[in-house]
Structure 1
Amino acid sequence: MSLNKQVILITGAGGGLGGAAALALAKQGAELILLDKSIPKLEKVYDAIVESGGQEPVMYPFDLAGASEAQYQEMADVIEQRYGALQGLLHSAAEFSAFTPIAIHKTQDWGHTLNVNLNAAFLLTRVLLPLLQKSQHASIVFTSDSGARQARAYSGAYGVSKIALEGFAKILAEELEGGEKIRVNTLVPGPVDSPLRKKAYPAEDKAKLPGLQSLASIYCYLFDSASIGITGQVFDAQTFKI
């Protein structure tokens, strides 16, 4: 139970990657705060954690794109009142509509995607930094995408958001490096059998892809004591070895 009594918040916890991370971290004893706008999806992950023997998590229904700054701060205040501090923050929420040429990209889709994938990560990180700084050691993990990172054609707002998110993570890591308390890293899951992957590549043979459970070890590594002192790095799950 290497993450026993470690409080970790996961965004997009009802999604494929977020749910897989939640289950992996819960099995190591983490106390989880599950954030997602879909209550049924949260309940499904909640049940899976309890059935696996993990500590009962907290479900926090929250619309990352629609919430105001005041609501973000209210969330931080609630967490502080309950836990006092935070040891981990996993940005796993992601918005992807479709591969779209810039010439016909809808403004509404562009704004919504950037709000979920980038602006929400900024707002949430900012309001939770004081709680992370109250811990002796804490970890922030952002989730990127190997395809989007190469600025491929038609990746649109999703690609732009992931490129910007990696830059944001590096800037934050540089700013926090002096304190040696909060490490900031980026995870690139690579091709895995996830709902987002199915949406992006519907004709792909998913039987040839690694399952979501293949990411368990890297999620645990990024939040347990083994990664203390490692910051500003991009981890590729497909080549990661402990």
Structure 2
Amino acid sequence: MSDISAAETRPLAGRIALVTGATRGIGRATALALAEAGAHVVAVGRTAGALEELDDAIVKAGSTATLVPLDMKDGAGIDRLGGALFERFGKLDVFVGNAGVLGPITPLAQVEPNEWDDAIAVNLTANWRLIRSLDPLLRLSTAGRAVLVSSGAAHKARAFWGAYSVSKAAVEVLARTWATEVMNISSLKVNLINPGPIRTRMRAKAFPSEDPETLPAPEEVAAAILSLCLPSFEETGKLYDFPSRGLKEFPVPV
């Protein structure tokens, strides 16, 4: 009875889960949800102090963590990450690509090149480099699971949101392409999630007049992300729309 209970309450026991943007908001909540489910969490973030605070919370949750201070614009650092994880763990079971920036909210013609480059680098290119670095490790897992965080902005041509919307639309194609490539040759499942409006610092920056108390907390969407990371979740190439609590089917590639 106790073994069955442990399997139900800590379904990721013995598994390694990496989360980017893990120091606050959805990333932090997801890291804690994975830890509570039994995973050893590889927490990636820019701020060492915030990572240490997360580590304390993970220990309180009864799990352990590896802290990786890393800027998502550090491509060489991302490239080295996969090798370091292989040397220590020999595999990776879960990858949650959550790190992102809002970028400039301004007309496309007025976006500065460095602002555009930063948004694309963090939201898109970093996830591509993470795929290059982590894909071999995820294939070594008996149930590799990858979840990339998208946005409703990926499906809206909202004025002034060009850099963010374009980067998130590209992330969706990136994830769907990856899912298709590994579909028949690996147990790896790759999916997307659209959190929708969530009570985060990024949301407050984008909508300063909005009452954050009217929005779901990061912990709520983290629970949905956790469900996509479980070995029992067998769908791939889908987008989970958190506001509607449903999976979105994409056209089947031909």
TM-score scaled to structure 1, two decimals? 0.94
Other-structure match for 1:217? 223
Q: Secondary structure at the match of 2:75?
A: coil
Aligned match of 1:9:
18
CA distance in structure 2 between the aligned counterparts of 1:112 and 1:198, rounded to whole angstroms: 20
Report the alpha carbon displacement of residue 239 of structure 1 after superposing the two structures with TM: 2.2
CA displacement 1:31-88 (0-9 Å, x = unmatched): 110001111221222222222x2312110011111332xx333211110011000001
1:164 to 162, 170, 190: 170
> Which of 235, 239, 242 is matched with 2:244 structurally?
239
Bigger relative CO (Cα 8 Å, ≥ 6 apart): 1
- Superposed, which structure 2 residues align to 1:140-179 within 5 Å? 140-179=146-185
Once the two structures are TM-superposed, the CA of residue 141 in structure 1 deviates from its matched residue by 0.6
Tell me the matched-pair count: 238
**2:38 and 2:63 in contact (8 A); partners too:** yes
**1:180 CA displacement:** 4.1
Aligned-partner Cα distance in 1 for 2:40–2:112: 40
Computed over aligned residues only, the root mean square deviation of the Cα atoms, in angstroms, reads 1.5
The residue aligned with 1:122 is 128
1:56 and 2:64 matched: yes
Q: Does the aligned pair in 2 maintain the 1:15–1:93 contact within 8 Å?
A: no
Does structure 2 retain, via aligned residues, the 8 Å contact 1:144–1:188?
A: yes
* Aligned-pair CA distance for 1:241: 6.6
**What percent identity do the matched residue pairs reach?**
33
1:18 to 3, 24, 27: 27
| Cα distance, 1:241–1:152 mapped onto 2, change above 3 Å | closer
- Point out where structure 2 has 5 or more consecutive residues left out of the alignment: 1-9, 248-254
In 2, are the aligned partners of 1:99 and 1:155 still within 8 Å (CA)? Answer: yes
Structure 1 gap segments, 5+ residues each: none
Report if aligned partners of 1:98, 1:200 keep a CA contact under 8 Å in 2: no
- Matched to 1:40, the amino acid is G
Aligned to 1:85: 91
Correspondence for 1:111: 117
Are the counterparts in 1 of residues 32 and 57 from structure 2 also a CA contact under 8 Å?
Answer: yes
